[in-house]
Amino acid sequence: MRDILTYFLCLFIGFIFLGCGEVEEETEPMLSVELPDRYYDTSGLLYEIMDKQVKELLNLDFPGDWYNEEDPELRAKYYHALLIQKFGDIPAVHIVAIFYRLSLLSDGKPTEISIEDLILRAKAHYLLWPNESNRKVLEDTENQKIWRETDDPELYAELYTETLIRQHGDIPEVHIVVEGEKKKKFGGWRIATDADKNEYVEYLRAKYVLQPTEYFLCVYNVFKEARDSGKPFGVAISREKETCVEGGLDELLNLTLENAEDNPE
């Protein structure tokens, strides 16, 4: 389950990655969005939205090339002002601005975000920019919650496959990853024979193809080296823990953030 969370912050950390920043001239509220109270807590490096800050953002004169600002806090503030001046003081604006700020402050590093918050973010994007790409991101994110929580292996595989095909196309690696993740979720891998080890290394390779992060490359190389040298996979597991820095981030989230970059430049 940890690796499943590690697999899906990109997307959306990706989806820092599908046209979510595209601005439509006319938008109408299409979904009900509420801002959780915890988003007003500055201890989590989030905005504490107060009336005086809203007023400041509504009147802030920001540069046209605001997206070139190197200070992440100031850049996030400019983007927040851009949104609130265009769409008004509505929860969706603050939600999108908050996640943009988080992506800047994380600087590519893992950030813990729940699937419920990812859905909230996707709803906010779709409300502000109700285009087809944002609708697909919202659908994928809601499906992700289902396949994460289901006890039905076939439903899990079906929804997971649909999501990955939409993101990467119908390529062999998608089906390899889905099958591997299904094994992990519903019984785990049984790596006892050379054939099993070859299959596991191929699964790790496919994961890296879909999400080419340093972590997945490290894990793949560790287990590939163990297989090629005939070392027990127990050695590889220990080495993975010592050398591969996971960071605890859901890679699907990474993909979502990457594909949903808010910068309209």
The residues spanned by each domain of the chain are: 23-130, 149-249
pLDDT digits (tens, 9 = 90+) for 13-31: 333 333 344 333 333 333 3
* Least reliable range by pLDDT among 103-112, 141-150, 157-166, 176-185: 103-112
Confidence at 4, pLDDT banded by 50, 70, 90? very low
Mean pLDDT of the chain: 75
pLDDT digits (tens, 9 = 90+) for 94-122: 888 888 888 887 766 656 677 888 888 88
Between residues 2 and 180, the one the model is more confident about: 180
Between residues 163 and 10, the one the model is more confident about: 163
Per-residue model confidence (pLDDT) at position 208: 94
Kindly tell me the sign of the dihedral angle through the C-alpha atoms of 35, 38, 39, 40: positive
Confidence at 5, pLDDT banded by 50, 70, 90? very low
Per-residue model confidence (pLDDT) at position 107: 67
